[in-house]
Structure 1
Amino acid sequence: MPATRHFDAIIIGAGAAGMFCAALAGQGGRRILLIDHSPEPGRKILISGGGRCNFTNIGASAANFLSANPHFAKSALGRFTPADFIALVDRHRIAWHEKTLGQLFCDGSSKQIVAMLLDECAEGGVETAFGQAATVDHRDGHFHASFGQSEAKAPALVLASGGLSIPKLGATSFAYDVARRFGHKIVEPRPALVPLTLPEGQALFKSLSGVSANVIASTGKGKFREAALFTHRGLSGPAILQASSYWRHGEPVAVDFLPDQAAGWLRQAKREEPRISLRRALGRCLPDRLAETLGDQLNLSGELANIPDKALEGAERRLGDWHFIPNGSEGFAKAEVTIGGISTAELSSQTMQSKRVPGLYAIGEAVDVTGWLGGYNFQWAWASAHAAAQAIAAGDR
């Protein structure tokens, strides 16, 4: 066995958080080793944003994140902002554009972000070991990593291997397992930003597969106005993905199908065009197939003139608060991120370092901080990586 090599920090996980942390700590004068069991770094970056990487959101703040401690993310997010990452992207001359709701995407390809991070790592003299699974332990004041035929040790270890979402890209429980071994609690990991499935009793809506509409979807404390999409298994689209992070099994998801319609709009339609049907009135606001299905479910046939005002008011109320009871989600296989993870209770919000084990850090998706859809989770990756890298760079030489 070759001699054990010494580094200032070992980072496990070459995703967004791990690569950025490695680059910053390396550029801060530290000798860094970045390990990942995948031969290809940044695999989730590559598929993000439809291949264009929604790399941040200009409105990102702690209010856009879920955590058992809703204040935990404030420090890191406040010290490394979307503007800071945009400046890096601009320095690498990567063209970008803003879509809706502050979401920023590459004009070209997600590959540009991965290449940028690898270039930044190279600038910091980061050593990499890709395609090699690591095992770690802690003794004599150092973290020891075994990978392939190699051994390394360092006074700092950064868990940046992410959560459980998208296992086909290599997601594992590595970070949770190591954290548990060092006495850290894990907040129950669940799929987040994930399509929800409907039971057979609501098969009628599955027949609308491919139909989408702009709605307000809400469950728990989450309420989002974006597009909802019916699928052959249930509900998807941005509004549903957002709501899914707040959804718990057995709870309803309420959908307002007509958020732009003022109260009394059906009675007004009745006065102005008494001879049209409810289905036709809905068809002026919604896709035809959806209007037809909702109209059938409301069971109000004939002309509006022949439907009592009270019945129309009842229809409006139901259209504005239509309850679906999902029987589950499409799971980690389709979840964009994992909610839950390493508890923030024993991590420093300033440095992301363990309060239990000096030198142990956790960043990115491995931590119980989960962002909304739209670039927020990348911003958490950059900000938490920056916080840890600053602490590592400032540590004892």
Structure 2
Amino acid sequence: MKGDPVVHWIENEEPKSAWWRAESGLAPPPKIVVADDRMTADAAFRLARAGTALLWRGDFQNARQLLQALARRVDRQAPTAGAHTSGEAFHLHRQAQGRRAHILNKLLLPLNADYSVPLRRAPDVRQACSEAYGPGGVGEAPSLISLRELQGLIGAHEWRKKGVPVAALNNRIYPHYGVFAPVRSEYVGLVNEAPLPAALAADSLAFDIGTGTGVLAAVLARRGVARIIATDQDPRASACARENLARLGLAEQVAVVQANLFPEGSAPLIVCNPPWLPAQPSSALEYAVYDPESRMLQGFLAGLAAHLTPGGEGWLVLSDIAEHLGLRTRAELLAMIDNAGLQLIEKHDVRPSHRRVTDATDPLHAARAVEVTSLWRLAI
């Protein structure tokens, strides 16, 4: 924990301190008061809204109920669907998410050195914390954590245990904490069904740029590509991909390299599924969803020609939801492709089928209802 911030508070008229844990990037709270089962939801809401964090010393299950009560109070002020244009709705939605996080993250829990929670009726979260923070135990110090972040760790641990079914693999992928889970199957299906470039016959090699869980690399391997180099700059993603590929028996076929975008050399097939929304992440974990100023998208397109072998193809897997939200136009995307010296061979489209497509209460429903996910086959 060396280098992590320390938080301070007064408890029982004595100064206290602990390490601050926040993998989500949440800043340490400047003011902390101790709270327990006697605190009402209204009182907690007033303190949290004013910026005061609450260090919970009561029953763990009561802390969960308090968090739910705080969420209900925050959500009463959430924007309603259909009241604005899609672009306005997106920005209002992001603002509402920020306000929600600002308040809900103020409910804190203590963690012992071994990641056990010293509260009544607390679950055993040691394994979930170890997967996110690394091993705890002797030599470590007690710390504080937002209950909301702890719930995220527990949820990620459950995903990692149960896995995500992937029809294209007839198997499961097991995401790690902080690595985007392949819960939207349509983009995986596109990579599984698009015709492979003829140039693979001479050199059966593919690059998977920003591999994440390794799911697209695994799909390409199962389709018969002999060698695949999968890259990711996130150490968590690299470890996750290696574990998944080993579990699928593909470790010899797929090499995982920690790198920003392209590995060395060139290949007849290069696949990339960048984050789909060109917006600023509000936490470290949101980089799987938001691509600030389309930096990864532009980097992939700008470097693609230099890494394709003659007759090769670059597959860009991208949703058009950014266009429906007014964050990027189709003309801007086409200009990026043209400026990179690339041409479009063919585009394969699919409509998403996740539950939000039909959820009229979703603030972004208007954009989600018309969203299309595409695989752009690009060549020099």
Per the shorter chain, which TM-score range? under 0.3
Looking at CA atoms only, which structure, 1 or 2, has the larger radius of gyration?
Answer: 1
TM-score normalised by structure 2 residue count? 0.26
The structure whose RCO (Cα within 8 Å, separation 6+) is larger is 1
TM-score normalised by structure 1 residue count? 0.25
